[in-house]
Amino acid sequence: MSSIDPRINRLNLPENNDGKEVLDELEQWETYEVFHQKKRGDQHVHVGIVHAANPELAIIMAKEAFGRRRQTANLWVVKSSAVTATDYDDQDIFETTPEKTYREASDYYCMDRIRKYQQEHGIKDRKEDRRKKKESV
């Protein structure tokens, strides 16, 4: 085979391939899920996967794939097979979460009740002067 690249010419590659499968099952190893922390204090965020033969190599691959071109403080890798996840089909188990307003600060307001009580009992509203001043401006 002749190429414009002398390095390829030096390989003396055959003109035609023999059609054999080159890779066996698992020859690219297992996958690891990669978690990336941009800077100290940030959360680790899942960014993707790498193929590696062991955790040490997974870290090296993760550094190349996910730490090469952006700010990175720390990486975690974990075997994909070690992760247990919820099923998207069961997403409805989270559905009542936004309905529980008694768990939100914004659901608690009692000023109307305090003012009504103060008026009825002649208690001066200590913020009244400030409020009037603000209104006159």
Partner 1 sequence: MYGNAQIDSKDKAKSLTEGEDPIKLAEFEARIIRGEKIEPKDWMPAAYRKQLIRMIEQHAHSEIIGALPEGTWITRAPGFRRKLALMAKVQDEVGHAQLLYSAAETLGKTREDMINDLINGKSKYSNVFNYPAMTWADTAIIAWLIDAGAIINQVTNSKGSYGPYCRALERICSEESFHLKYGHDNVVFLSTGTQQQREMVQDALNRWWTPIMHFHGPPDKVSQHTEVLMRWKVKMASNDDMRYRFLDEYVPKIWDLGLTIPDPKLRKNEETGVWDYTEPDWEEFKRVINGDGPCNKERLQVRRWAEEKGAWVRRALLKAESKYTIPLA
Q: Restricting to residues 31-90, which ones interact with partner 1 according to CB under 8 A?
A: 31, 33, 46-51, 53-54, 57, 61, 64-65, 68-69, 79-81, 83, 85, 87-89
Neighbours of 7 (CB within 10 A): 7
**What residues does 33 pair with on adjacent strands?**
49, 78
CB of 84 to partner 1, least distance (A): 10
Distance CA(50)–CA(66), nearest Å, equals 10
Residue type, 129: D
The sign of the torsion formed by the CA atoms of 8, 13, 18, 20 equals negative
Total residues interacting with partner 1, rule: CB under 8 A = 47
Site residues (vs partner 1, CB under 8 A): 1, 3-5, 7-8, 11, 13-17, 19, 21-31, 33, 46-51, 53-54, 57, 61, 64-65, 68-69, 79-81, 83, 85, 87-89
